[in-house]
Structure 1
Amino acid sequence: MPRKIIPYNPKLKELARNLRNNSTPGEIRLWQELKAKQFLGYDFHRQKPLLNYVVDFYCAELNLVIEIDGRYHEEITDKDLKRTEELEQQQLTILRFTEQEVQTDMFNVLRTLEIYADGFNNKIND
């Protein structure tokens, strides 16, 4: 299945770089598990511009966006819902974890990602 190219606003590249350089402890911790194809061989990118947003983590092979909530706020806002809707229109799945979950329960965060990957692969192989 060919990879779908998702456009992005080039003006976000500098913001993405700044976010990578100022990651939260949770983002750093999850990146240690995802970088260099360590997680089941999938290629993840962090602070990736997609459309008019910068997502925390992105895997094109899985059509997956991972967001870690807690950098700016604890609750989901209308802006988050609009962003989720626009990303889902690109056939992306958004998985959300809190900063606390990533910091204190990495086992279950990774288990959730494994379950998603298994389901995704089963769906495309049917």
Structure 2
Amino acid sequence: MINIIEFCRELRQRETIAEKMLWFELRNRKLAGKKFLRQHPLCVQSYFGKSLYYIPDFYCYEAKLVIEADGPIHLYKKEYDKNRDKVLSDLGLQILRFENDEIINNMNEVLGKIILNLD
């Protein structure tokens, strides 16, 4: 059975074009000097004491910001995404979601929205 760290590594290997483009802009503290992590697991304890892992596409600990690049699969996961966003926001995290097309075609606008949420 694959562990969470190996699974995150696998996700990084299978990134979408939009994730690749956005990561190029976020990595190495390029955006506002903030450190972003890619496909980094966040652990949450369930009501039953079980560890649950959520793996955002991008995460900035300093700004408590999660960024998601939503592709076509998210059309079928709306309820899951809504619940996941609720759990993460209950942890004090802010979630920004961008469609893949938005990232690919309007990168400057996407980066502007991210910068506004880094404070």
TM-score, normalisation: structure 1: 0.81
> Unaligned regions of 5+ residues in structure 2, if any?
44-52
The equivalent residue for 2:21 is 29
Which secondary structure does the structure 1 equivalent of 2:91 belong to?
A: coil
Larger deviation: 72-81 or 55-64?
A: 72-81
> Unaligned regions of 5+ residues in structure 1, if any?
1-10, 121-126
Amino acid at match of 1:60: Y
The equivalent residue for 2:42 is 50
Distance 1:63 1:71 in 2: 26
Q: Which runs of 4+ in 1 moved over 2 A?
A: 71-76
User: Is residue 79 of structure 1 aligned with residue 80 of structure 2?
Assistant: yes
Distance 1:74 1:39 in 2: 29
- The percentage of aligned residue pairs carrying the same residue is 38
Shift of 1:39: 0.6
- How big is the alpha-carbon RMSD for the aligned residues of Structure 1 and Structure 2? 1.6
Matches for 1:62-101 after TM superposition, within 5 Å: 62-70=63-71, 72-74=73-75, 77-101=78-102
- TM-superposition CA deviations, 1:11-54 (whole Å, max 9, x none): 32111110101100000000000000011100000011112111
Amino acid at match of 2:5: K
Aligned residues between the structures:
109
CA contact under 8 A between 2:65 and 2:117: conserved in structure 1? no
User: Do the aligned partners of residues 58 and 71 (structure 1) sit closer, same or farther apart at CA in structure 2, a change above 3 Å counting?
Assistant: farther
Distance 1:62 1:76 in 2: 26
Distance 1:58 1:115 in 2: 15
Matches for 1:83-122 after TM superposition, within 5 Å: 83-117=84-118, 120=119
Which secondary structure does the structure 2 equivalent of 1:65 belong to?
A: strand
Shift of 1:79: 0.7
Distance 2:85 2:74 in 1: 16
